[in-house]
Amino acid sequence: MLATEGSVAVITGGGSGIGEAIAKYWVQNGGKVVLGDVMPEGLERVAGEIREMGGEVATLTGNVTKEADNAALADLAIKAFGAINLVVPCAGIINDGLFLTPDRETGKIISKMSLEQFNRVIAINLTGVFLTVRECAERMINNDCKGLICLISSTGSLGTAGQINYSSAKAAMSVMPKVITAEFFRKKLAHKIRCVAVAPGYVGTEMVKGMNQKALDRILENVPISRLIEPEEVASLIGELYRNEAISGETYFLHGGLRLGSKG
């Protein structure tokens, strides 16, 4: 079993939501954190709260779609704390819209998801994850670190209507652990650096809690546990996946029993 005490987590999207919850969980359990986010205000707030908890934290404002920013974040972890043991790329966005929208009367298409709308989500939610993981894993190998790469997929990976961009990116997250684990196995690294994904359902971040209440109620009608998943519950699962060295190469759903219907 790996110990959280003294271990170093690199987390993007660390200035809010799931990334913030993981960072605070890690520090509460004796770890150190390196946080990246595109919004400096959120980073400063979270870092200040972590320091008030007595935790050790380093931060870097950056864009996960930029190679140089991801390299700088990974380098910061090595420079500040000498290791990378956990990598959790949480940076992500949604930009929902229907693939094609027919007119109700004529049946002819009146609008469609734009290429920019598709590409922006893919750039941050998929390319950004690839770059963060690539840069951190390189430094984990070069600095003889042991630990876990934990990707954040989603129940949306099963196919959510209105989210062909988001669902496509999250589906990719679900297959990445198998690919990375297979490649590391070939190179005799899989026992040192494991890779998994966690796929939450509807998580009670500030963004989700701020939704229209009627829309939120309709969502909860389909969740067997009748509530949102708490960000701290996602963090807790990631902590266990880190500690248990028998776990690798799989995606773990955390959705309160949710099953998406034929209409997504």
Residue 166 designated active-site:
yes
Q: Which of 230, 198, 234 is nearest to 22 (CA)?
A: 234
**Phi, psi (rounded to 5 degrees) for 21:** -65, -40
Sequence letter at residue 38: V
Asked if 8 and 27 count as a contact pair (C-beta separation under 8 A), the reply is: no
First to last CA, the chain: 38
Sign of CA dihedral 28, 31, 32, 35: negative
* Residue of 25, 166, 202, 242 marked active site: 166
Q: Which of 156, 160, 2, 21 is nearest to 85 (CA)?
A: 2
Q: Which of 179, 86, 67 is nearest to 140 (CA)?
A: 86
- Other Cβ atoms less than 10 A from the Cβ of 113: the count is 19
Distance CA(212)–CA(57), nearest Å, equals: 35
Q: Which residues are catalytic?
A: 166
